[in-house]
Amino acid sequence: MTKNTPAPALLKDPNSGKEWELPIRSGSVGPQAVDVSKLYGQSGLFTYDPGFTSTAACDSGITYIDGEEGILLHRGYRIEDLAQNCSFLEVCHLLLHGALPNAQEKSAFEDSIRYHTMLHEQMLMFYRGFRRDSHPMAIMVGVVGALSAFYHDSTDINDPEQRLLAQYRLIAKMPTIAAMAYKYSVGQPFMYPQNSRSFTENFLYMTFGVPAEEYAPPPAFVSAMERILILHADHEQNASTSTVRTAGSSGANPFACISSGIASLWGPAHGGANEAVLSMLREIGHPDRIPEFITRAKDKNDPFRLMGFGHRVYKNYDPRAKVLQSHAHEVLESVGRKDEPLMALALQLEQIALQDEYFIERKLFPNVDFYSGIILEAMGFPTSMFTVLFAVARTVGWVAHWNEMISAEGALRITRPRQLYTGEPERPFVPLDER
Active-site annotation, residues: 311, 369
Containing H/E element for 65? strand 63-66
Q: Rounded to an integer, what distance in angstroms lies between the CA atom of residue 387 and that of residue 372?
A: 11
Closer residue to ligand ACO, CB minimum distance, 324 or 368: 368
At closest approach, how far in Å is the CB of 309 from ligand ACO? 4
- CA torsion angle 148 152 154 156 (round to 10): 100
Q: Rounded to an integer, what distance in angstroms lies between the CA atom of residue 31 and that of residue 38?
A: 20
Compute the half-sphere exposure of residue 246: CA atoms within 13 Å on the CB side of its CA: 14
What residue ranges bind ligand ACO (CB under 6 A)? 269-270, 273, 297, 305-312, 362, 364, 367-369
Residues in the chain: 435
Q: How many CB atoms lie within 10 A of CB 74?
A: 24
According to DSSP, residue 366 is labeled: B
Three-state SS at 83? helix
16 burial level (CB within 10 Å; 0-12, 13-18, 19+):
exposed
At closest approach, how far in Å is the CB of 259 from ligand ACO? 19
Q: For residue 116, which of 52, 167, 67 has the smallest C-alpha distance?
A: 167
Q: Rounded to an integer, what distance in angstroms lies between the CA atom of residue 97 and that of residue 235?
A: 17
At closest approach, how far in Å is the CB of 36 from ligand ACO? 22
> What is each CA distance from 152 to 20, 86, 157, 166, 251, in whole angstroms?
48, 33, 11, 10, 15
* Beta bridge mates, 78: 73
At closest approach, how far in Å is the CB of 336 from ligand ACO? 29
Single-letter amino acid code for the residue at 247? A
